[in-house]
Structure formats: C-alpha cells, structure tokens
Structure 1
C-alpha cells in the first residue's frame, strides 16, 4: 500500500489547520493557520532524505511547499539551523548533542533509529597493515568533522581498545577531503558514514576496521530551529512533515529497489553505491520516550567525558516531540 493511501486525509487536514499543544509552553494560535502560504526549509545530508521523500511520495498533497538544502555533513546543517536559514533537518545523536551544547536555539522534535547505523564505520585501505583498532596507535585518523557520529565512534572504539584520542593523530576533514586523504595515504583511517562509507567500499575497495555495533546508538533526530517552532504556521507544517517522514521510513523498508533508483538518479551515485546506502539507511521513527531520552543522555555524558562537549546537556529539557503531537 502506498504512503499516500495510508495517510488519513482527516489527520492531514487537522494537522494543517491546528497547532498541536507543545511541551515548551508555546501558545496555540488564535485561529487556523493557512499552510498554503508556508514554505518549509528542510536540511538534508548528501541527498538521502530528499530521495526518500521523493521516492515514497510521502510529500504528495502536502498543503505547504518544501525547499531542500543539501549539506555534506551534520555540522554545517546544524549551523544553518542556528542561523535560521532552515527550519528543520536530520542529524545523528552526536552532532545533535554538540549543537545543543553550543546553542539554545535548537530543539529535538522527532527521533528514529537505524539498526545498521547508516554505514557508520572506521575504514582503512584494503592493503593497510592496520588490522585492529589497537593498531591505530601513532597513526593519523580522520573522524570526519568534529563532533560528528564518526568522531563519537572513533572515541568509543579507542576506549574499548584501551586507547585515548592522544594515542592517535586526529585530522578533522570534510568528507570529500577525507576521502581524498585516505586514497593518497595522507591519513591511515577514516571514521565516517554513508554515503561515504558505501562509496569507499564499492569504488576504492576499502576494508571496515570497526563498525558501530555496540558502540553507537543508531539514533538520529529531526532537529528544529526554536524560531521556527515559535511560528504557528511553521510549527504546524513541521508537525505534518514529521508524520509524513515517518510514513516514508515505513515505505522504504518495503521498497528498497525503488528507493535505490531515485537516490541514484538524484545524486548521480552508481546503483551499487545507491543500493548499499538504501539498505543501510533503513530506519524507523520512534517516540521520544524516557528510555530514548536516557539513552541519548548517556551519549551526551560520554561526549562530555571525552572533552568534546564543553557544556552539560540536559536532554530532557531540549525535547518537543512533534511525532506524538496531536491537535
């Protein structure tokens, strides 16, 4: 069954015309909002979410317009949220926490979990003499951007191997630069995620040194600008978008081939790369329950202990769950 048929018209109409009660104390609008005049600016990384929404048809019939903004990683996406250039965007747990620690301008509004962690892994060239994480001692590693899920994975993996960040040479690089550095030998290992892991595996034949199993949560979040949340029309549009996004996630689990084709077309990636990305990006929307909040708080506490977060984050105070909001 298509996403369009599963979305109840009455629900969408209600979401379009009323502002749900919110946890941060924002007042309801005096009257209905007109979403036909709203453009929702959505941040994406490497085209993955745009492909998902387009392939599923989940945005068909939306009473507002969507304008996509593409970023190579979560850090610049979250900076754009802070700058109010976009309204909402998806980011992993670690970069979300970094943004929350750095600013009071962002709130988590929905959550999802990826069993395959979106290809998150530490990779090395196929012929590398590095066989275990412990072998990274003295070598140069890029965790991609500072505060990313790649950074968190590296720190977790090093700790598990009895090492610290001081035992390796860390080089923060944007994905394109890190990919080139790994190929040239300027770095010895790269901690990254899809589509970059998939490209390196399929096109450069890299080897996975350590995946994220047991080290990372697999959680990602839709984060919103507080300025946008305070706007009744944008809030109503974001509430509807969260529901459509979760429907698209359900559709993707049943239609990986169609998702692969759309992603390949949108991004110019090969079918092999697109197929691997589609497979490992499978995720499900989840409510932001006390258990999920506690899990994210443990990640925050770890990151604080590693010295990456410079301020404490009380996760429970930074949640406004639009995924369970109802008019």
Structure 2
C-alpha cells in the first residue's frame, strides 16, 4: 500500500520548498469545454505566467463511465487553440487510484470513515418522513439534504457485513469525529478571489455544514473531494484557482488536508459565467463548446474578450 507522505517524507512529493507558484487546470473529460472552462483555464495560465510560476494540466477521469478519450483529446485541442501552454506529462487521475485508496485507508485507520448503503430513494424517504412530522432536515451549502446518521455508530460486525454484502456501498467521512480529530487551531483558508457574498481574505472553514460526505463509492474509487487534495499535494500546487461554485467545498478540502498532513494552497474563486437563463454553464446541459466558437470563425482573442 502506498501512503500519502507526511511532511517529513517530502522526497516522494512534488518539491514545494521553492517559492515558485504552481497553478493547475483540472477538467474532467466527460464533455466539451465551454466558456466557463475557458475562463478558468486562462486565469490559471495567465496568473502562473505573471507570477513566474508553472501551469499544469490535470485530467480528472476517475468516472470511467462518463469520461472518454475523445473528450480528453478535445480538451488539449481547445486549450492549445486558446494559446495556452502546459507542462508535460499530463497527470491523469485514473493512473493513480492506489494513492486515493491509500488516503482512504489512512482515514479508515484513524477511525474516521464508515460504510454506508442508503440509496438516494431511501435518503429522500427519510427526509420526507422527518419533514412530514414537522422536523426540518439539515442541508448542505448546495441545498442537498445531509446523509442520515443511522449507520455512523454501527459496530464492527455490522460494518464488516456491509462491506462483504452484495449491496453497493460507499465510504463516508464521519464528520463529527473528523472535525474533532482535526483539532486546533480552527480551520481557515486564504482567499484571494471572493465567495458568493464577496468574502475574501482569511476565511473560516465550516466542513460540518456538509455532513458525512462520500469519499469513495463502489462505482467510483475516489470522490472529487479526496482525489483533488491528494493530487494538489503531490503536484505541489500552491494556488488553486477555480469557479465560485466550489467555494464552500474548500472547507471540506481544508479538513482533509489537516487530517492527512497535506500542505495548504492559497485559494482563488472566480465568478461563474451564466447562460441566458441565469444558470451556470455546464457540459451536462450541452452549453456551447469552445470548439463551436472556433468553427464559427471566432478567434482566441474573441474568446478572451468574452470571458475576461
């Protein structure tokens, strides 16, 4: 088993002893890049260049059912057309599943994770039942109901039965135990962009607002939350520049970094580009891809003018 290195084992991690900033753009190859991706990629690239830093491209392709090689090829083509240059080789998450499994095992050894089997339908039913009885159900910053706590305190035999059983299960972080294990000082992060309400500077993190998050599922060996903090540490990322929709998720990332003894980047959350209907641009909604603008005769300079 390969373990995520502690600070005293820096030889297996990217060298972060220098002050050179390191930025990354990390798309998933599950669709074509749109203007929102162009904004994030250009900001990362330009901020790296302006600071004398490095710009990396990372392909987040853990979800093998939705990620496809043709989309990865399109990502490279679109970014190159925009005039962006990145270091080689490109890191692909699917090549490093053992590292995410190792991080999960460390959390398991600390007694901070548990197996869960409730389906979305069962969660929805539990929420509806509670609300029908007049009890408000807690929700995360994205508005989704928190996972019921009924499996959190199962004994070892019951947990082993879940893992050995035929029903698909996920591994969840016991948030209450994790926050206690994180200890003092209080979790914070340095924000050089801004949150939804204009928050900037030193931000107090509230990971408990997310409840018992998923870290791994039967059909996905690592969640975004777990894989992103492992990758950022191993690649020596010093500045995470991403959309404001991930602002509140930073609290979870800071908690996992503390628990796994991983370094803390500076965070910069930028505005989201919205469609005519007011919602953020999305690959799943088939919003106009960068390639379509190129095929329509628009130039890279036109794209910069549209997003910056």
Q: TM-score, normalised by structure 2?
A: 0.31
More helix by share: 1
TM (norm. structure 1) is 0.30
Structure ranking higher on relative contact order (CA contacts 8 Å, 6+ apart): 1
